[in-house]
Chains A and B, each alone.
Chain A
Amino acid sequence: MKLREGPQSETAASSSGSDQRLNRRKSSVSQAGLYQRAVVAAFKKTLNPRVMVRNPVMFVVWVGTVITILLAIQPDLFGPPPGDNVRLYNTTLAVILFFTVLFANFAEAVAEGRGKAQADSLRSTKTETRAHRLLESAPAPDGRFEDVSSTELRRGDLIIVRAGEMIPVDGEVIEGVASVDESAITGESAPVLKESGSDTASTVTGGTRVVSDYLIIRVSADPGQGFLDRMIALVEGAERQKTPNEVALTVLLAVLTQVFLVVVATIPPIAAYVGAPVSIATLVALLVALIPTTIGALLSAIGIAGMDRVAQFNVIATSGRAVEACGDIGTLLLDKTGTITIGNRLADEFIPVGSHSLEEMAQFALAASIFDSTPEGKSIVRLAGQLGARVDFDAELATGVEFSARTRMSGTDLPDGRQVRKGAVDAIKGFVRSRGGVTTSQLDEAYEAVSRQGGTPLAVCTDSELYGVIHLKDIIKSGIRERFGQLRRMGIKTVMITGDNRITASVIAAEAGVDDFVAEATPEDKIRVIQEEQAQGKLVAMTGDGTNDAPALAQADVGVAMNSGTQAAKEAANMVDLDSDPTKLIDVVTIGKQLLITRGALTTFSIANDLAKYFAIIPAMFASVGIGSLNVMGLASAQSAVLSALIFNALIIPALIPLALRGVEFRPLTADELLQRNILIYGLGGVIMPFIGIKLIDLVVAAIGLA
């Protein structure tokens, strides 16, 4: 460990270069070798009973496969078997059953492989780097530091990272302002500004790179506990647990399998009684054909693929439960700014009140906004400049007053002692009254005029003197009304949360087409609305980025934190949007719905399939005892019927893998419409398709003389 003193120009953070920066944007994850790896993984799973026992339906098929393999080796193992070519028949059955299990494991391995590919790309971002750990407790850019490995850093350590160096671990900026390239995490190529003191811009993630200036960072996570580590564990599925719906479906599948196991186990005495003995291999085949193998094989893959689809959207979910909850969401809480309207509101007009001129109004609006670095503040400065306003005081001696949710105003304390403020009209009225001033009806008229246009009115005052109202114009995002219409059709209620006054909020709510709105909202109001909706039995989703959003994010059933947000928000939420785009909440809900629809559709298809297989096998098996007329498909023989049904049963699994991974196409329909559509396509289709498929396979089996 060597000690250094003072600033160093060299890049000590020995990251392995810019080639390590991987663009994780959308579907850019490398898929090379995915299928080869999946085939190997599928074979390993198939040969391991400890893995197989975790999937009840496929474990029954696995046991059946073992029994038919034994029967292929020794056909009279359980007594003299009926029929001809028994060894060939048993061998063919054993091969088909083996491939049925293999295909099921392949589906799961492909889904897991896609998650692992994402984890690999993240892991390559997370390399062990050298870090400059400051030796003094008081941070200073020219302070003494030691070079240590990033794995030696602990929570609370102070490090300095300079331009060109990689940030080794997660942390909080406590000094400095720098541009940070976060493309390795978010895929966004434009660097973002990081600085201390800001609620959202002060957190940095390990694996990102400082591109200008320097940052002094307080480490916020011990090795292995960082954001990237958690993301890797999640996309790899290491922490994946069965969701409530998956658990319920597992019980249903186990019950169905149990019922058919009992049915098949009671056939031999009946068959012997009617004089049509059935071989053990045929009974195994019948059992496999009757139990819901299709959904049993694809259930796990559907869940993993759902997580993967969310991850491809650059959203990391903490669990499958969160993704699934998205599908059941009843209420969406949406921030107005950034979600419904374009983030930056711009000053459009100054409306002076009382005896004040437009120039005076512009002058004080400029004074109130000179320290305001928000886009709104900058637009006020710009508009005031266009109207000829100039700063007529020494800005060095003035003090900026930041906006807060409590005071709902910001401004400047001028060197001569005057206090210039701009903010919510009610707040400014209170400020003026507290200093002995009076409010005028003109102010209320201007406030209403701006609000009725859907704009945000900001009042401007100096101590007890009111100057007028700034009109901040909101622009509603294009297409948002249609999306809310779709959500309404799906039975999802949308609630807009805004700090704006009631009139402005109602105008924007009407224009955007949201179902409800909460005006002049505080962070506590968010929790109240969530609790009210939850009390009605609805699941609630919301987005947030600030520390004050953390309680509401934790309270919501689905909380999506912005990656640019604070550590508290990210930890409280059950999803993190790497692109920090609040509009994505709507897309995530859509993915959750798609996951549930896909699982429901394939379950319907699987159970409907079994009906057709029952009609294929039973009449052919007992044709000799007078139920041959039920052989509606006209299958060649009992053996041919069993083989055809099993081959169809095996082939349908890989045929449905793309649908399971991609998800059923989502349509914004009501629950009733969706049910009707699914029953028609996957229910009726699930009945008809096997009849056609089994008949075609039977023709081939008979033609090649397999049975």
Chain B
Amino acid sequence: MIYLDSAATTLQKPKTVPRAVMKAMYQFASPGRGGYAAAMGAANLMFQCREFAADFFDTSAPDQVVFTSNATMALNIAIRTLVKPGMTVVMSCYEHNAVTRCVKAIPDINVLIAEGPLFQPEKMIESFRSQLKQADVAICNYVSNVFGYLLPIQEIAALCREKEVPFIIDASQAAGCLPVSVESWGAAFVAMPGHKGLYGPQGTGILLCGAHVMPEPLLYGGTGSASVEQDMPDFLPDRLEAGTANVPGIAGLLEGLRFVKEKGTGRILRHERHLIQRAGMQLKSVKNMELFLAEDASVQTGVLSFRIRGMDCERIGQRLSAAGIAVRTNLHCAPLAHQYAGTLDTGTVRISASAFNTEREVDRLVEVIRSFA
């Protein structure tokens, strides 16, 4: 199979990842629930992962690294902490349902959309600049999951600091291929999955908490600390980590993080971007092809959307699947992004690369598309 759906989940993992998962399943118990070797081994592993992530993502302390089930859970915690009824929230027009549905579930919220055409970061900066004047909270994804559009997150973060508006960053498509710096951005929260560009197992995610934020718990329960108290602990990470931790998942995530650090985010991005550009340049000549390929490659990551006039995206996905090629089709859980890009009625076909894809795979994708387009 040629797997080109890494924006959903990376399927090919470094060999160290499943090995670590298996080892953890056989050797580790619940961290924070005992002083015996199997429990303390699990605790040491989690701490190693916290320390690694804190250093890699420039977070003030390992305590500020919270393990979640996915980026959606992390975003829910962040949004529910900062967004309260009656507030005004500004978000980019490229947000995922993990953001938009969560905000909509909070009553009486005034939502402002920072608009800007695809691959034009200056327009997005201007839009945030004007909307932030009225905002209580700002939310933006670092990279659009539909189009691979690299949003000007550093500039938006600077505007948020200037206006003193708490900023939530959805780094779902960025973590692993772009630098993340909680401290220098001054972000309130940065959310990311463990199973995409960080090459960890499904069921892992990370919420990086800014130094001066005390988040609201999403789950309530045992933490192995302050057990007499009936309120959740007032310290991190315990406050947000009720219940038994996903130790095997975190073991795999740690190995995924090590892989990314060793390879280098810059190198991974260059590789993925090269593959997408290669596919894009070849697909341009396909009849009725509509490609969402940036003229300036520096504002697009390893994600490319396209559609073929007169062909249903789902049908294209089926044809590719029959040829052994895995891609994502339709709305990618981001109707807002499609609405602003003008693709809400059709959706798109999305190809997304990982560090494990090759030129040959991309060329085969083009060959198959040519055969039916």
Tell whether A pairs with B.
no
- Please list the residues of chain B having a beta carbon within 8 angstroms of any beta carbon in chain A: none
